[in-house]
Amino acid sequence: MKKLLISASLAASAVLPSAAQAQAIPPAIVAVVDLDKVTSQCTACKTALAALRAQGQAYQTRESALAAPLQTEQQSLQTAVNALNGKEPDAALKARITAFQNKQQQGATELQRQQQQIQRNQQYVQKQIADKLGPIYSQVMQRRGATIMLEQGATLATAQSLDVSNDVIAALNTAMPTIQTTAPAAPAASTTQGR
């Protein structure tokens, strides 16, 4: 019985240190990056944001240019319809109404296409930045000796010495001198079906 207890205690002592070593985690070295600052202050980002703003302004200008004559035409048609006092419009007025509806639909379609393109452009810019940032995070972490990198918005408070945003901006400026602000054409929908 004594030999059995000694063997069991030896076996237990051999297992305990390895279990304790497996649970030991080295202390974390945290770095913090302000992504809003990075994406608004990198050189290519500033240029891309200005281009996207210009696209948005062009959309608003086109929307106004389409809306003004349509509104005038709609008022004219409404006046003509009201003058009929409930009577059926003649062929000429019907043709004007149909032409107005077609112009209105064409304008809406044009604006929708332009808005979709702007959205694709924004997503394309974001993707280009995100694709470059992944490797940059690793490089900055390695250079600064960090084991964890957090986005500043995910923290309640941090010491300024943990902020590596300027390092990330500098690396992004080097890695990405320009950003394409026009997304490639959207893939056409396939009409063939697999069997």
> pTM of the full predicted structure?
0.75
**Domain contains 168:** yes
Range of the domain at 46: 28-175
**Domain contains 182:** no
**How many domains does the chain divide into?**
1
**Domain contains 160:** yes
Provide the CB-side half-sphere exposure for 133 (13 A, CA). 20
**Domain contains 141:** yes
Q: What is the pLDDT along the chain (195 residues), one digit of tens a residue?
A: 455 444 545 455 555 555 555 678 888 899 999 999 999 999 999 999 999 999 999 999 999 999 999 999 999 999 998 998 888 989 998 899 999 999 999 999 999 999 999 999 999 999 999 999 999 999 999 999 999 999 998 988 888 999 999 999 999 999 999 999 999 987 765 555 554
**Domain contains 3:** no
* Residue 137 near residue 90, CB atoms below 8 Å: no
**Domain contains 192:** no
Structure tokens at 152: 């500043």
**Domain contains 98:** yes
